[in-house]
Structure 1
Amino acid sequence: MSYPGYPPSGGYPAFPGYPPTGQESVYPPAGQYAYPAVPGGYPPAGAGTYPAAPPNAAGYPAPGGYPAPGCYPGAPPAGGMPPYPGAPTGPGFGVPPAGPGFGGYPQPPAQSYAGGGPAQIPGFPGGQVPSPMPGPPAAMVQGTQGTIQAAPNFDAGRDAEILRKAMKGFGTDEQAIINVVANRSNDQRQKIKAAFKTMYGKDLIKDLKSELSGNVEELILALFMPSTYYDAWSLRHAMKGAGTQERVLIEILCTRTNQEIQEIVKCYKSEFGRDIEQDIRADTSGHFERLLISMCQGNRDENQTVDYQKAQEDAQRLYQAGEGKLGTDESCFNMVLASRSFPQLKATVEAYSRIANRDLLSSIDREFSGNVERGLKTILQCALNRPAFFAERLYYSMKGAGTDDSTLIRIIVTRSEIDLVQIKQMFTQMYQKTLATMIASDTSGDYRRLLLAIVGQ
């Protein structure tokens, strides 16, 4: 038995850690649509299914068919699952993984877009909580869904020489600079910086600053910052001086993984000599301050297994802390949304809809306001569909008069090696236009060319 697109061409397994070590020889490499026969009758003649797994071979199919329910996290049901609009493509993504708790893609919106306004995805502002078709677990897409990949045959010295020539003498060859920075991973850019200093005894960043200006300068300097440093720098910049850019604090602290947050907190201390918690306390207050302090711990449960009983209990607790009483118990919302894993929160959202006859995002709209409302909704949106959250942020950075260039630059740079492919797909699905089209109409010159090069146009 086989179905189109699965297993992926190029070999099985497509999932890290599967099959378990020591069992690799049980299944030979996959062909385009099915396993090849091997001497001895594999699969068994006339069986029509894949053979049963060896006894106690955890994670292999059970007798009688392939794949067996629960044979590995995220396995599609027997018979396969159809692709859906906006689904990611490429190795390992021919059929979306099934199973609860892998928060991914909402169903395409059913409403008409004739009015010209942006489409709203269920579960996002103004919509309903979706019953989304699950997307791939984060472990599967990490590093595979970025528009920027590490360049093959990379030579840091050669790239340093190209950049030096582009800046030497009268005028600057911006296109040569764009060709290098838009096609190298962040790790490779760090190597180029080191090679430049070794070869020419000069600081590449200072040279770039002297040759560039405006938004293209900000964009290129962001690309040359190590990713953790860029997040820490953005947080420091958001709290430095008069006023606070609360949306930047929310965008970074409420969307990053535990490991990313822990590294950001350490970098903030080592690079700026400051304690991020103290800066947050000095710049924010009330329930928003408490939510950000909770986020700074980088201690969210990361167990990918969903406890449906706990989801039901949390949903009931949230209902009684908000819609089910006069006033709001903000600490209850903080506790659940700051500590539960994203798959667990997704199950809680679904349970809440059944209890309250209202989606949880709408309840937060009614019970909270201001920055704490935005922070709580960001956490839930990431649990339901992280690429859609960033697509929405990108859209509103360019919508209307003027452009929020710092937000546009920050999201394009920070997601370029993680999930910008998915963000682009969600952008098209949500707003009926491509991200590249909107960037092209909102920006100009070398700034536009570099942005479009990064997003893969």
Structure 2
Amino acid sequence: MFKTCFGRDLIHDLKSELGGKFEDVILALMMKPDEFDAYELKRAMKGLGTDEDAMIEILCTRSNKEIQAIVSAYKTLYKSALEKDIQGDTSGHFKRLMISMSAGGRQEGQAVDMNKAQQDAQRLHQAGEKRWGTDESAFNMIMASQSYEQLKAVFEAYQRLSGKDIEKSIKSEMSGNLELGMLAIVKCVKNRSGYFAEKLYKSMKGAGTDDRGLIRVVVTRCEVDMVQIKQQFQAMYGQSLESFIKGDTSGDYKKVLLALVSQGGY
């Protein structure tokens, strides 16, 4: 509509008028959710080095429908298949997990099967603590294919079976980006809002700010579940998200982040 009315490209005008982190967050808001996720995935794999944290956050937390939209947007924007780029930029069991996540084939909307949960808990136990070395493929198969509701039942059964929380088992059996990816799935199953609250806290804590991570979480969650994320942030860290943002950012960048956080979601 902007182009229709004024014969000018809005994105081009914004880039010429803005700068820095304020420009980054405004341009992020100009994209549809699937386009922004695709953009962040491309950025994560572009050039030297890979931003595995961004890949994990996006691919391990989105629904099947969202993943499928991201895959389509990625193809449209970059004339390349997301899976192909993941294959070329990652390796080992982490690559397998990311490809599994990008398939968008997780079971959804099915009733929880307690017998299957018990069987899968046993399978995870056998693949991890009960053997020398870890069978990562067994973890990948269960974590990537089962619904969040089913996985919650699996984790509860695992706790009863082994006397150990699944997070602790993953930390002791895995390392690196595979561990972080598996833990992201577990945290989303247990408390999705808590997972994003932790991401926001870590993006601002200590010296320096992970502005890309901060912008990504605020932009992608502001109209989804920000109310719950703010509640979790307060409960987990004893401080409001707004006050944390005020203390860690400045200027127009701070203003737009606070405006987005106040939206809350649907």
State whether TM-score is above 0.5. Answer: yes
After TM superposition, give the deviation of residue 303 of structure 1 in Å: 2.5
What does residue 20 of structure 2 align with? 214
Asked if 1:386 is matched to 2:192, the reply is yes
After TM superposition, give the deviation of residue 204 of structure 1 in Å: 1.1
Cα separation, 2, equivalents of 1:303 and 1:210: 46
What does residue 432 of structure 1 align with? 238
Give the match's secondary structure for 1:377. Answer: helix
The correspondence for 1:231, drawn from 34, 37, 44, is: 37
Cα separation, 2, equivalents of 1:325 and 1:200: 67
Q: What amino acid does structure 2 have at the position aligned with 1:249?
A: M
What does residue 11 of structure 2 align with? 205
Summarize deviations over 1:358-411 as a string: whole Å, max 9, x none. 000100000000000000110111111111101000000000001000100010
Give the match's secondary structure for 2:230. Answer: helix
The correspondence for 1:420, drawn from 212, 216, 226, is: 226
What does residue 369 of structure 1 align with? 175
Summarize deviations over 1:287-320 as a string: whole Å, max 9, x none. 0000001011100000241111111110011001
Q: Give me the CA root mean square deviation.
A: 0.9
Cα separation, 2, equivalents of 1:227 and 1:320: 39
Cα separation, 1, equivalents of 2:216 and 2:133: 37
After TM superposition, give the deviation of residue 277 of structure 1 in Å: 1.1
After TM superposition, give the deviation of residue 208 of structure 1 in Å: 1.1
What does residue 303 of structure 1 align with? 109
TM-score, length of structure 2 as denominator length: 0.97
Summarize deviations over 1:27-68 as a string: whole Å, max 9, x none. xxxxxxxxxxxxxxxxxxxxxxxxxxxxxxxxxxxxxxxxxx
Matches within 5 A, 1:9-24: none
Cα separation, 2, equivalents of 1:402 and 1:328: 36
Q: What amino acid does structure 1 have at the position aligned with 2:2?
A: F
Asked if 1:332 is matched to 2:138, the reply is yes
Cα separation, 1, equivalents of 2:90 and 2:3: 40
TM-score, length of structure 1 as denominator length: 0.57
Matches within 5 A, 1:3-402: 195-402=1-208
Cα separation, 1, equivalents of 2:96 and 2:219: 28
After TM superposition, give the deviation of residue 325 of structure 1 in Å: 1.2
Give the match's secondary structure for 1:358. Answer: coil
Give the match's secondary structure for 2:134. Answer: coil
The correspondence for 2:256, drawn from 423, 428, 450, is: 450
Give the match's secondary structure for 1:433. Answer: coil
What does residue 169 of structure 1 align with? none
Cα separation, 1, equivalents of 2:140 and 2:166: 14
Cα separation, 2, equivalents of 1:301 and 1:262: 14
After TM superposition, give the deviation of residue 351 of structure 1 in Å: 0.5
Q: What amino acid does structure 2 have at the position aligned with 1:396?
A: K
Q: What amino acid does structure 1 have at the position aligned with 2:179?
A: E
Q: What amino acid does structure 1 have at the position aligned with 2:219?
A: V
Q: What amino acid does structure 2 have at the position aligned with 1:331?
A: S
What does residue 183 of structure 1 align with? none
Summarize deviations over 1:82-128 as a string: whole Å, max 9, x none. xxxxxxxxxxxxxxxxxxxxxxxxxxxxxxxxxxxxxxxxxxxxxxx
Identical aligned residues as a percent: 58
Structure number with larger C-alpha Rg? 1
Summarize deviations over 1:1-39 as a string: whole Å, max 9, x none. xxxxxxxxxxxxxxxxxxxxxxxxxxxxxxxxxxxxxxx
Larger fraction in helix: 2
Give the match's secondary structure for 2:80. Answer: coil
Q: Which runs of 4+ in 1 moved over 4 A?
A: none
Give the match's secondary structure for 2:133. Answer: coil
Unaligned 5+ segments in structure 1 are: 1-194
Q: What amino acid does structure 1 have at the position aligned with 2:250?
A: S
Q: What amino acid does structure 2 have at the position aligned with 1:251?
A: E
Summarize deviations over 1:254-288 as a string: whole Å, max 9, x none. 00000000111111111100111111111110000
What does residue 213 of structure 2 align with? 407
Give the match's secondary structure for 1:301. Answer: coil
Q: What amino acid does structure 1 have at the position aligned with 2:140?
A: N
Give the match's secondary structure for 2:107. Answer: coil
Tell me the number of residue pairs that the alignment of Structure 1 and Structure 2 aligns: 263
Give the match's secondary structure for 2:159. Answer: helix
Give the match's secondary structure for 2:49. Answer: coil
